[in-house]
Structure 1
């Protein structure tokens, strides 16, 4: 980013952070909505940081979608307040609470309201894509923990996992691959958000730990197409495949540890069919990720050479490899 040290960017980042913190610390829905709007107002200028026309188009799409979801959110909140005369526990009305839940799902980009996210991410830089797939999901995920509508959340969770895994097949754009992967991972997080919030937080933190080095590595390539993974470079050859397989959830890597905790917890609660469908969605995406790994390891053509050297991620690399041993105590607690 050419102008990343421009003083106004610090202001926009501060507003974005303040909006999310305000939502997380708010006592009721009106101030949560204000926090979401602050976050949006701080994030939109960051999307236009290079001043390109594609960034302006993406930011306009993002603004329209977020404005629609915020409008539905505040209107359903006001109607629920009118129904219950309270901002705190107001989920007695099934239809209005479902509308409020769907507005948050639209903000998150979960299926079946995910149509806007892949359409927009192709035009973004990797840093903005990372923020949309991680930081921008924190506040809506927190708000979902306050809505008690288990049946709808289970349906959205299964749709997100299966659609994200199926749509990733035959994709060639790396940003679209990461986006559909995020939709699939969102389904796993939503599956536990009403049952065990701590597991959702663990899954989300592990997703961030995997995404930071992976997106930084992908950002080093000349373009965002899948064939660029076959270029010969001086990056540790096992780093990128390990991160890709960890994102897929292959044992014994860090991504597998997150999914194992959720699968064990769901089976203990007798959600057998849900566990099976989540597992099938993970296997579908694993097939595609294994193909990406083969391209990285086996098909590294000497014709294309990239001499770029990147920062070392030895700590994250070791955490991915030895995650089962590092986090064994968590698995042991859940099994017992």
Structure 2
């Protein structure tokens, strides 16, 4: 598959989308599992889109990890069926629920099961990386939201993901690895409210996609994947890239801050003060490397003043990101 526009790629994308939709439209655990496997079979060929040896190695690692977590998921589903004689969400055994949660967290790449993610993502193209960090998380997140027991475990995992994602990105020089650990950190915020109010996690996920889509596209225009390349001449739009980075870090009054604010308000209303403080601490750690990348683009780059007009396809997303304090905050107050 050396050709980037190989005709069968469309087929693989459709298989991947069908698998995710099958998981989302079902309340039956066996059908959800089938959907996850379909999604995996569609995504694996797309990982080998350039036909390089490193991509083949990454796809094999991804296949092994996903197969392992799927095996644990189907075994725990069968055990649940033996106990309750139903394939639907009847969680009356904490051990089985814990097995299911851990298998889904491994699929999502959340801490402490996130160690497979960086070794795979640093060998990918930016488009496939974006799909892995966004689309591939939809079905497992939906399945996690159906868990109605062991909520304390999910809370602990969310805190670990936020803090570990921030700490492990600090000394990284590879931009793709920084975006990967950033995704682990954001996953913690999504998991924090997934069992309380899953619609808030959906809002946070949509905002994450809206910010990371133009940002990853602009970062892919730079000369290489290493951090010092941001100081060289590149085709990206510095001011807009900086605003998107700071938005991803959660700096007010940008869109990333607004999505975090909604979750913070909800957690404080639920009297979860310690969880709120720990999530906030993890975000402060991750804000360090976002500011570092922003400084590289703004101060160290000698092409800062030559700021081109943004691409038309992202104009609406960028305006929404910058003006979110005027659009979203009044909506939050009204609700």
The TM-score bracket by the shorter chain reads over 0.9
Provide Cα deviations, 1:279-324, integer angstroms capped at 9, x if missing partner: 111111112211111111000146x9x9999734322221111101
Alignment of 1:172-211 (within 5 A): 172-211=173-212
Provide Cα deviations, 1:83-136, integer angstroms capped at 9, x if missing partner: 111111321011011001100000000000001001111101101110100000
Q: Using the alignment, how far apart are the partners of 2:195 and 2:257 within structure 1?
A: 21
Alignment of 1:103-122 (within 5 A): 103-122=103-122
Name the SS for the 1:259 alignment partner: helix
Runs of 4 or more consecutive aligned structure 1 residues displaced over 3 Å after TM superposition: 232-236, 306-310
Q: Using the alignment, how far apart are the partners of 2:236 and 2:187 within structure 1?
A: 30
Q: Is the 8 A contact 2:118 2:177 kept in 1?
A: yes
Please name the residue that 2:89 is paired with.
89
Please name the residue that 2:214 is paired with.
213
User: Does 1:223 pair with 2:230?
Assistant: no
Name the SS for the 1:11 alignment partner: helix
Please name the residue that 2:41 is paired with.
41
Q: Using the alignment, how far apart are the partners of 2:74 and 2:230 within structure 1?
A: 44
Q: Is the 8 A contact 2:27 2:89 kept in 1?
A: no
Name the SS for the 2:233 alignment partner: strand
Please name the residue that 1:8 is paired with.
8
Q: Using the alignment, how far apart are the partners of 1:85 and 1:190 within structure 2?
A: 29
Provide structure 2 residue ranges, at least 5 long, that are not aligned to the other structure.
Answer: none
Alignment of 1:51-130 (within 5 A): 51-130=51-130
Compute the TM-score of the two structures, normalised by the length of structure 2: 0.95
Name the SS for the 1:238 alignment partner: helix
Provide Cα deviations, 1:241-293, integer angstroms capped at 9, x if missing partner: 00110010000001000100000110011000000011111111112211111
Name the SS for the 1:327 alignment partner: helix
Please name the residue that 2:300 is paired with.
299
Q: Is the 8 A contact 2:218 2:237 kept in 1?
A: no
Provide Cα deviations, 1:7-38, integer angstroms capped at 9, x if missing partner: 21111111000000000011310000000000
Q: Which moved more, 1:92-101 or 1:316-325?
A: 316-325
TM-superposed CA distance for 1:191, in Å, is: 0.1
Change (3 A) 1:307 1:47: farther
Q: Using the alignment, how far apart are the partners of 1:286 and 1:201 within structure 2?
A: 22
Q: Using the alignment, how far apart are the partners of 2:324 and 2:308 within structure 1?
A: 29
Change (3 A) 1:308 1:128: farther
Name the SS for the 1:266 alignment partner: helix
Provide structure 1 residue ranges, at least 5 long, that are not aligned to the other structure.
Answer: none
Compute the TM-score of the two structures, normalised by the length of structure 1: 0.95
Q: Using the alignment, how far apart are the partners of 2:118 and 2:235 within structure 1?
A: 31
Provide Cα deviations, 1:163-197, integer angstroms capped at 9, x if missing partner: 00111111110000000000000000000001111
TM-superposed CA distance for 1:154, in Å, is: 0.2
Name the SS for the 2:271 alignment partner: coil
Change (3 A) 1:308 1:320: closer
TM-superposed CA distance for 1:5, in Å, is: 2.8
Q: Is the 8 A contact 1:233 1:308 kept in 2?
A: no
Q: Using the alignment, how far apart are the partners of 2:69 and 2:183 within structure 1?
A: 20
Q: Using the alignment, how far apart are the partners of 2:110 and 2:9 within structure 1?
A: 29
